Structure 1
Amino acid sequence: MKVLDAANLSSAYRKTTVLYDVNFTVQAGTLTGIVGPNGAGKSTLIKTLLDLHPRLTGEVRFFGTDLTKVKKRIGYVPQRGSVDWDFPTNALDVVMMGLYGQIGWFRLPRRERKRKALEALAKMGMEEYADRQISQLSGGQQQRVFLARALVQDADLYFMDEPLAGVDAATERAIMAILRELKEKGKTVLVVHHDLQTVDQYFDHVLLLNRTVIEHGRTEDVFTRENIARTYGGTLRWMEGEAYHAHPVV
């Protein structure tokens, strides 16, 4: 089943075109890495798909219909750097915000909302920080809280903008374990990712982007030297040897 279909999509910042003629579809139950060089439009792609940034042309369909009709089925984790972490709230309240769009949220007892939020925090190993102000958390802890907020939504389709950027190894493992669990439950996840050395380990599908879609499909078919070179141009060096397994390095 198609959960996302983008056709002839383009967008710009002021007079500079950032994305042009973007076409791709995403099937249910897949874990897709969105990969490309800096300035390729990866974050802009997610924002344009979700109507957080205006599009110049194109059509986007979610679950065969318009975004406005299925917003409750979609979760979004923005880049950590785009969030105001000085906002005076604690981790528990941030996660409970993820329940806002659910039917009957205002009728749902606070005790039930709190229980759901604490369960999501516990899944991310953050239950003991529930009452901690978000500004007092480390970068990795903040990322875990935002992922917990997405989990509590129980969405069918998730967009995550560089959830692994700047986190420690333990947090990276925890996040990837959750993403794989979501996939196993039939959820669909798209992740903006920057580390080329882990793409083939983490994702079953990859979308190579450089202002337009270079290639999209199963990782084993798409994530090749030729396609990576087409995506990154002359910015790559290939590290050979047993320690590198011929991985590209930007």
Structure 2
Amino acid sequence: MTHVLEVNNVSAAYRKNKVLDNVTFAVDKGTLTGIVGPNGAGKSTLIKTLLELHPSLSGDVAFFGHSLKAEKTRVGYVPQRGSVDWDFPTNALDVVMMGLYQKIGWFKWPMRRHKEKAFETLDKVGMADYAHRQISQLSGGQQQRVFLARALIQEADLYFMDEPFAGVDASTEKAIMTILKELKNTGKTVLVVHHDLQTVTDYFDQVLLLNRSVIAHGPTVTTFTQDTIANAYGGAVRWMKEGLQHGHPTVQ
């Protein structure tokens, strides 16, 4: 069976500093993968490079066995909230409808059914009451829900999400996680850049430990171990209790 995503020897750099070094891994359909590693490990750069938002130095990437260009409509992306210009004069409904432009066409007006679909998707993330609110007037958690809705309305098969839980409240994190698990249960595939080591085992069935290159990748229950975490973080990890089986790792 062809993997949903195949990454072979991908390297990337910022100026002369290599931030990804021969990254190789493959992702199966219907999995929920946490991309975990220390600051500066290249997690966000990995997603941007795979999606051709950042140039690669070398390597090959296949989406459903083909190029990104051939399968672009099947791929959704939620960027880091901090990378978005939230002062842009638009409301939540319009932001969500942006996710439909590949289907509508950039120079065509959205139809009533498109707006209804956007409302339905906003309702799914608990934001229907804010449909006509300017995005600059929303809280951080509300903004993140709107961007999640923009990705969901694409009805993609593969989703990339860059730190979706950063700066959000506990209720928003719980709501987002519920949606991600629903996506997985319907056969969708999701990769999430994640920073909270304490929730990895609860949130993800697969984990990719990254520190410029792949330290480990596989089922969370067998891959997210003391040794692989220490290798990824250079030993800068302590456990709240002795042994990963009885506690949670945290970065010092």
TM score, norm. by length of structure 2: 0.96
Secondary structure at the aligned position of 1:61 is classed as: strand
Deviation at 1:235, TM superposition (A): 1.3
Quote the residue 2:86 is aligned against: 85
2:242 is aligned with 1:246? no
Quote the residue 1:46 is aligned against: 47
Quote the residue 2:76 is aligned against: 75
Quote the residue 1:130 is aligned against: 131
The separation in 2 between residues aligned to 1:106 and 1:125, in whole angstroms, is 30
The separation in 2 between residues aligned to 1:169 and 1:245, in whole angstroms, is 24
Quote the residue 2:194 is aligned against: 193
The separation in 2 between residues aligned to 1:24 and 1:154, in whole angstroms, is 25
The separation in 1 between residues aligned to 2:74 and 2:107, in whole angstroms, is 18
2:154 is aligned with 1:149? no
The separation in 1 between residues aligned to 2:212 and 2:36, in whole angstroms, is 11
Secondary structure at the aligned position of 1:2 is classed as: coil
Which AA in structure 2 matches 1:137?
L
Query: Is the 2:21–2:212 contact (alpha carbons within 8 Å) kept by the matching residues of 1?
Result: yes
Q: For residues 105 and 55 of structure 1, do their structure 2 counterparts lie closer, same or farther at Cα, with a shift above 3 Å needed?
A: closer
2:4 is aligned with 1:3? yes
The separation in 1 between residues aligned to 2:206 and 2:177, in whole angstroms, is 15
Q: Which moved more, 1:96-105 or 1:191-200?
A: 96-105
Secondary structure at the aligned position of 1:37 is classed as: coil
Query: Is the 2:78–2:151 contact (alpha carbons within 8 Å) kept by the matching residues of 1?
Result: yes
Which AA in structure 2 matches 1:98?
G
Query: Is the 2:7–2:60 contact (alpha carbons within 8 Å) kept by the matching residues of 1?
Result: yes
Deviation at 1:179, TM superposition (A): 0.2
The separation in 2 between residues aligned to 1:114 and 1:184, in whole angstroms, is 27
Quote the residue 2:214 is aligned against: 213
Gaps of 5+ in 1: none
Secondary structure at the aligned position of 1:7 is classed as: strand
Query: Is the 2:104–2:110 contact (alpha carbons within 8 Å) kept by the matching residues of 1?
Result: no
Deviation at 1:245, TM superposition (A): 3.5
The separation in 2 between residues aligned to 1:165 and 1:27, in whole angstroms, is 26
Deviation at 1:246, TM superposition (A): 1.9
2:184 is aligned with 1:183? yes
2:34 is aligned with 1:33? yes
Deviating runs (4+, > 3 A) in structure 1?
103-109
Q: For residues 236 and 160 of structure 1, do their structure 2 counterparts lie closer, same or farther at Cα, with a shift above 3 Å needed?
A: same
The separation in 2 between residues aligned to 1:103 and 1:68, in whole angstroms, is 18
The separation in 1 between residues aligned to 2:52 and 2:169, in whole angstroms, is 31
- Over aligned residues, Cα RMSD in angstroms? 1.6
Q: For residues 109 and 45 of structure 1, do their structure 2 counterparts lie closer, same or farther at Cα, with a shift above 3 Å needed?
A: closer
Gaps of 5+ in 2: none
Q: For residues 23 and 90 of structure 1, do their structure 2 counterparts lie closer, same or farther at Cα, with a shift above 3 Å needed?
A: same
Deviation at 1:238, TM superposition (A): 1.0
Which AA in structure 2 matches 1:135?
S
The separation in 2 between residues aligned to 1:109 and 1:30, in whole angstroms, is 33
Q: For residues 236 and 73 of structure 1, do their structure 2 counterparts lie closer, same or farther at Cα, with a shift above 3 Å needed?
A: same
Deviation at 1:77, TM superposition (A): 0.2
Deviation at 1:233, TM superposition (A): 1.1
Q: Which moved more, 1:104-113 or 1:28-37?
A: 104-113
Please list the CA deviations of residues 72-125 of structure 1 after superposition, one character each: whole Å capped at 9, or x if unmatched: 000000000000000000000000000011266867852111011001100000
Query: Is the 1:99–1:105 contact (alpha carbons within 8 Å) kept by the matching residues of 2?
Result: no
Percent of paired sites with the same residue: 71
The separation in 2 between residues aligned to 1:239 and 1:55, in whole angstroms, is 38
